[in-house]
Amino acid sequence: MILFLLALALSALVVGGLGRLLVIGPDPMTIWETMALGLAASLISWVIVRVAFGPHAYPGLVLTVLVATLLVYLVRVQRRRGRR
């Protein structure tokens, strides 16, 4: 169980990190925010694939990273609005 949670945290960190790399510019996210963003991207991509292709389909890394990139962009836009 502990190994599963560590693997989940590591994969979420990788997905969130790749999403952050694809959005150009500085991003003052913490490591925990990056991990949470990666988990959210994994969940959202899982729901998209399940609705579109049925219960036996699983999302790939590319879709998950694209969702993470979209989430990073949305977080960045939201933070810009908060500063004004």
pLDDT per residue rounded down to tens, the chain (84 residues):
899 999 999 999 999 999 999 998 887 889 999 999 999 999 999 999 999 999 898 889 999 999 999 999 999 999 888 776
Q: What 8-state DSSP symbol labels residue 11? A: H
What span, in angstroms and rounded, lies between the C-alpha atoms of 2 and 8?
10
DSSP 24-81: -S-----HHHHHHHHHHHHHHHHHHHHHHH-TT----HHHHHHHHHHHHHHHHHHHHH
What span, in angstroms and rounded, lies between the C-alpha atoms of 72 and 43?
15
